[in-house]
Structure 1
């Protein structure tokens, strides 16, 4: 396969994954006879939609499974690869059935495209039959189909915003994009301010709720949709806020999965969840970014921001190999007398196009912040408000980022090197 064909196949897989629902907490054991089947299954196990599932891959087919389950309980799902002819395959599966718990689901991956075999397997209780070769997307899709109730309520889309450095305006943009999505599309949006010590969402939305996200994170046993609804502050007709306490009365050290239940519950309550992630690198912030449906990185056009953005982008590509690259916003472009990296030069080493380049407008942003208002409320006709509209369309899948002409790196490092006297 050529590099171009491989990249196209990989892009198609990523696109196919976007509509899939997360798989619940289940145990899966796979028994593979070939590397061509084992590798896609292992890749599927690394996908964020399978984060709650516990997957173990064994080399060896049905015979290995029979040997194991003679003395061990069967998991929620068994995935079996078999290169046997249909009659032999059915005989070996019947033998395995003697050791399987009645509630265990079974997926068979075969090498014969036989309609009669498929019907016989389904009739005998096999959940699904797939013909090799398979892709990673095939595996996540079929597991999701078996274990996710198609009649259950849809899960909201989570969009995580993080700044490449402190002070780049990530929170302000997150709040304004959330407000724009709620007002422009009249869709229910929840903002979760995860910066419990220094969060600004309550100021930006002019709210002073008595309770907020802290009550949820410190009382995980109480979290459900009813309890979370009580903690929400209503900012506008379609926008709700899980506010941070923004106090230093406590130390906010959390486990890796501290916010996972809150996020899962919030996603069941609104079609759009905006996560305002602080500029820190901890177990929980890393896990939150890894599991979000979309990640947006905000940076200003300076060298340290470029370094940090590249580190974040590269890390997220490793953590989220089956998802699109993070979206990039270049903010505060054009500060008077400040040496800056041009957008084309900034994005080239990242390999991604910016979703938006927002000019430096201290008067508009300052007035909005000091008055507890959104940009669209201060000046609906301002060009930056139009940029917020464009970003809202992109992040909700209503439009795509427009490709911009690429330029060379242009000696970025040289531009910041000390000049010779």
Structure 2
């Protein structure tokens, strides 16, 4: 049986936990930043409402637990069993703190001078790359942050947070070392592609088609397709970047995977990523299919010169040849696929390819040379595509590239701040409260794709 001392201990511990829970406040009260560096109003509202819901639910459970401890229903339970119930509430509190830290790390960075507005501009770029003209889904809010390291990553919206709650926003981690240049867009939109592909269920749909193809081939002929199927999730994200950026995406990828030859040719057949050498080749095949131009063959030749295969083992060379042989067919299969989520449209149709052929990007750059203000009316992903194409053509210096993109990131952040002028209110501290009342926001301006 449980003693009165056991009850007093658990009541005191629960009320202490309740007091600490009161310190979990809205980020609107704790994150100093200039307005232009703030995350979007929908993202702020989603994060604050999510944390408020979790906090209010936990407060209710804590107070109910205290009442239960003091009431007659709990007296028949042992101290061990009541302690087990308290521990579950404590773990839930720690889950909430983990969630606060995840979003806090992102929002705290917005107070850094310069960096905050750059990252806010990247938010706008990410949202542009996720918004499809066909209205195939409701895009969730996206927020970005910079992190040390070589690669990018995403915690997709609607995936599990600590404690099992679904994330209200997508959180994209970008390598700080890539700021500021056109290559940052390649990494960012690749991660956006993970979110978009998941919303459209592209991986499962295309993989089902690949499995039929594999079943109709001999084991030896099926091996390249088996590998491409295993790598499909990452390939589709690369395709998302190419669809928005053209050759800018492939140059950005090339920069990321330019490693010592041992790693470039390190062929792992059990992981989700294509090995770097073939990943660039897949990007080139998709790019040539989406935006035909001699530049893809030139870049292919350059990649072959940087990482020749003639010194590899016979087995590796044979596998590479077999993979290369099927890439044109594979690219066509991916881009021509018609999943149910696209309501009859092909995968290649969802990207803004009509206005982003290489000659069109070059024409944009020529116009901007005479009328720089024109780029401020273009979609962020189009700006990065034009600047990246000019860089690929050797028409812009790295200094001018950084200057233009820095200016545009700050411009997009400032424009969003002007349009999202409503700030979510503070997180209420009353345990009886259950909702946040949010002010309406104005609509974002239309931008040309």
TM-score, scaled relative to structure 1 = 0.26
More strand by share: 1
Q: Which is richer in helix?
A: 2
Higher relative contact order (CA 8 A, sep 6+): 2
